[in-house]
Structure 1
C-alpha cells in the first residue's frame, strides 16, 4: 500500500471513530442527567479527562509545557470549545432528546464553512457545496421521524444551536492559531482544565445537593464522557483538523447517524427507512469531499 493510500485510509478510520464517539455524548449526557445537575456532570467530566491527559502528556511522554503566548491561546480555545460550547450543550440536553442533540452537531459544517469563507477567505468549490447539500439532505431524512416524535422546547433548541456556534468558532480558532509544535494531547488536556475552571463559578452558584445522586448512572455517564469522548474523540478531532479543517468538518455529518443508532439501542428511539436513505446520502457526500476535494 502506498503512503498516500495509507494516509487516506487512516483519515477514514479516524473520522469514523471520531463520529461514533462524539455522537455517543448526547446519550451519555441524557443518562447522567437522570442522576445529577448538568454542571456537576461537566465539572467531573472535565476534571477526570484533564488530569488523565496532563499526566500522560507531561509525566509519561515528557512533552513540554505551553509557553507564555500559548497559555492565552489555550485559554481562549478552552473557553470556546469547553466552557461556551459544552456548558450550553449540557443545559440544552435537559430539554431535547438524545437524537436531536446528535442532530445539532450536523449544523457545524455549515457554520464552519460560512465563517471560514467570511473571515478567512477560504474558497468553497462546487464539489464542496454539492457534498454539503447531500450530507445535509441525508441528515434531514434520517432525522425526520425523530423530529416528529422527540420531546424538545424552543428554548432547548435555541441553546443547542447557540452552543454549536461556539463549537464552530473554537474549531476555526484552533485551525488558524500557530501552536509552535505543541503536542495535541497537551493542548487538549489544558484546554479541558481551563474550560472546566471557567465553569466553576456557575457550578458554585447553581449547586443543590438534593439534585445529585452519585450512583452507577452518574459515574458511567461521567467516565464515558471523560475518557472515550473528551480524550478519545477530541484527540481524533484535533488530528483531523490538523490535516484539513474544512474536510474534517464533514465527518460531523456522520454524528447524527451514529447518534440515532446509539439512542435506539440505549433509549429505544426509532430507526426507519428514512434513516437508511439518510445514511446513503451522507456516505455519498462524504465520498465526494474526501476523494475529490483539493482544498
Structure 2
C-alpha cells in the first residue's frame, strides 16, 4: 500500500464519518427522505456532468450496470434512507458506530454465503467487534434509546454490506465518475417514491441547514464515494476496507465536536473494541488474497 493510497483512505474515512453529523443537522430541520433524494439528484447530475467532461461514457459493461444498480439501491436508497430516518431520534455517534460494523458483516457474509475461509484472527475480530457493539448498546439501554431507530440503522448496515460486496464489479472497466453519478441517480429515483408518498415538505430554514446540505451533497455525497471507488480499484476491496477501523473513532469524535453529543466511558471502550475487531478482520484477510497489484 503506497502513500497515495494511505492518504486516499484517510480522506475517505474522515469524509465518511462526518456524514452522520451533517445528516443529523439536516433531518432535524427537513424531511429526511426528500432531503436525501434531492441530495442524490444534485450529486448524481454533477457527477455525470464531470464524467462527460472527462470523456467517460454511460455505456457500461453488463457487470458494471448490475453492480451499479445494486449499489445505488442498497447503499444510497436503503442504507442512507434508513439512516436518515433513524437519525431523527438516534444520535449521530450511535448511527456511525453501527454503520462502522460493515467490514465485520462483510467478513461474516463471505464466510456464510461465499464459502470464504475465516481465519482465527478474523474470528477473533468478529467476536471483538460484536462485543464492542454490545458494550455500547448495553450502556445506552436505560437512556431512552429509540429501538425502532436502532433497528433502521441495523437494517441499513446490512444493505450497506450487500452494496459493498457488489462494488468490485462496478470498478472494473473504467468510467469511475460515471458509475458514481449513475448509482446516485438510481438511489434518488428510488427514494423519491416514499418521499413523495409519505412526507410533507416542512423545512426549518437556517444557515446551518444550508451549510450541512451543501457539505453532505459535495463531500460525503460526491467526493467520498468517488475516492472510495478509486481506492478499491487501486488496492482492492479488502485492503480498502481496512480504513473502516477509523470510522468508529472519527464518527464519535466529529459528532461530539460539532453536535455536543456526550462521550460516555463505555462508548469509548466499545468504540476501541470495535475498531480493534475491524482491524483484526481486515488484516487477517489481506494475506489470503495474495499480493494485489497497485495501480498508478
TM-score under structure 1 length normalisation: 0.83
With 180-189 and 67-76 compared, the bigger mean Cα shift is at: 67-76
In the TM superposition, residue 190 of structure 1 has moved relative to its aligned partner by 0.7
Secondary structure (helix, strand or coil) at the match of 2:287 reads coil
With 275-284 and 252-261 compared, the bigger mean Cα shift is at: 275-284
In the TM superposition, residue 288 of structure 1 has moved relative to its aligned partner by 5.4
Q: Which residue is 2:221 aligned to? A: 230
Conserved? CA contact 1:113–1:246, under 8 Å: no
**Moved >4 Å (runs of 4+):** 131-141, 143-146, 148-151, 272-292
1:197 aligns with 2:193: no
Map Cα deviations across residues 165-197 of structure 1 (whole Å, 9 max, x no partner): 11000110122x365413222211110011101
Pairs within 5 Å for 1:258-269 = 258-269=250-261
Q: Which residue is 1:4 aligned to? A: none
Q: Which residue is 2:292 aligned to? A: none
Pairs within 5 Å for 1:100-115 = 100-115=94-109
Q: Which residue is 2:248 aligned to? A: 256
Conserved? CA contact 2:242–2:283, under 8 Å: no
1:91 aligns with 2:85: yes
Pairs within 5 Å for 1:113-124 = 113-124=107-118
With 11-20 and 127-136 compared, the bigger mean Cα shift is at: 127-136
Conserved? CA contact 1:32–1:218, under 8 Å: yes
Question: Which residues of structure 1 form unaligned runs of 5+?
Answer: 1-6
1:245 aligns with 2:237: yes
In the TM superposition, residue 148 of structure 1 has moved relative to its aligned partner by 6.0
Conserved? CA contact 2:248–2:275, under 8 Å: no
Q: Which residue is 1:55 aligned to? A: 49
Question: Which residues of structure 2 form unaligned runs of 5+?
Answer: 289-296
In the TM superposition, residue 247 of structure 1 has moved relative to its aligned partner by 3.6
CA distance in 2, matches of 1:21, 1:152: 26
Pairs within 5 Å for 1:118-157 = 118-133=112-127, 143=136, 147=140, 151-157=144-150
Say what the alpha-carbon RMSD is for the aligned residues: 2.8
Conserved? CA contact 2:18–2:254, under 8 Å: yes
Q: Which residue is 2:5 aligned to? A: 11
CA distance in 1, matches of 2:125, 2:4: 21
Q: Which residue is 1:183 aligned to? A: 175
Going from structure 1 to structure 2, the CA distance change for 1:207 and 1:245 (only over 3 Å counts) comes to: same
Secondary structure (helix, strand or coil) at the match of 1:294 reads helix
Conserved? CA contact 1:45–1:226, under 8 Å: yes
With 106-115 and 63-72 compared, the bigger mean Cα shift is at: 63-72
Going from structure 1 to structure 2, the CA distance change for 1:213 and 1:281 (only over 3 Å counts) comes to: closer
Conserved? CA contact 2:18–2:250, under 8 Å: yes
In the TM superposition, residue 83 of structure 1 has moved relative to its aligned partner by 1.1
CA distance in 2, matches of 1:193, 1:10: 29
Conserved? CA contact 2:21–2:92, under 8 Å: yes
1:162 aligns with 2:155: yes
Conserved? CA contact 1:66–1:182, under 8 Å: no
Conserved? CA contact 2:101–2:278, under 8 Å: no
CA distance in 2, matches of 1:41, 1:22: 18
Conserved? CA contact 1:78–1:191, under 8 Å: yes
Going from structure 1 to structure 2, the CA distance change for 1:150 and 1:269 (only over 3 Å counts) comes to: farther
Map Cα deviations across residues 78-123 of structure 1 (whole Å, 9 max, x no partner): 1111111111111111121111111111221221111122222222
TM-score under structure 2 length normalisation: 0.83
